[in-house]
Amino acid sequence: MFNLKEIISVSLILFSVIDVLGSIPVIVDFRKKLGKIESEKATLVAGFIMILFLFLGEKLLRLFGVDVASFAIAGAIILFLLGLEMILGREIFKHGSVETGAASIVPIAFPIIAGAGTMTTLLALRSAYEIQNILIGVLLNLIFVYLVLKSSNWLETKLGPGGIEILRKVFGVILLAIAVKLFKTNLGI
């Protein structure tokens, strides 16, 4: 059953995890290096990865003998580290070099938009929210991601370096809180 409160919660959680606004500096850098980023392609591939993992992620975990709670705790640790990375301004997760032709897919669609944090969050959300509300939350986030990718140049100009940094820190704190909640929930605390 559609639930507006769940849709809003899922959308905000995914918005914080995906953190496309915090990724604007990376997106802008790739656009400058490569000339352009294929916004449609990046958004569609990220959406495909997210929806595929939403439905098949649990089965994939079972194949490796991992339960959802353990994966969620591991994901909570990743989210915690991502939040620390955002707040402290230190790079914890290293990203490899990118070939020019694949920039819309790697690293924009994966792992910036649909990375480990997003996939972990989707599984955790699946255990707490109705699937149709999660799908709507994913769709709303993909629309926002597309708009940000399309208007990254304009956003960079309007927000400036200080505005982008403030957004990054705010969403870092939100990620830390989500990580603590996931950790507590899946440990049964």
Contact 58, 123 (CB under 8 A): yes
**Predicted pLDDT at 100:** 45
Listed in sequence order, the residues at least 6 apart from 93 whose beta carbon sits closer than 8 Å to its beta carbon are 81, 82, 85
CA torsion sign for 71, 82, 43, 125 is positive
Distance (Å, whole) CA 20 – CA 144? 9
Q: Which residues contact 128 (CB under 8 A, 6 or more apart)?
A: 185
117-174 pLDDT, tens digit per residue, is 788 889 889 888 999 999 999 999 999 999 999 998 888 788 887 887 887 788 778 7
Mean residue pLDDT of the chain comes to 84
Least confident of 49-53, 83-87, 106-110, 149-153: 106-110
Q: Decide if pLDDT at 12 tops 90.
A: yes
Least confident of 13-22, 24-33, 50-59: 24-33
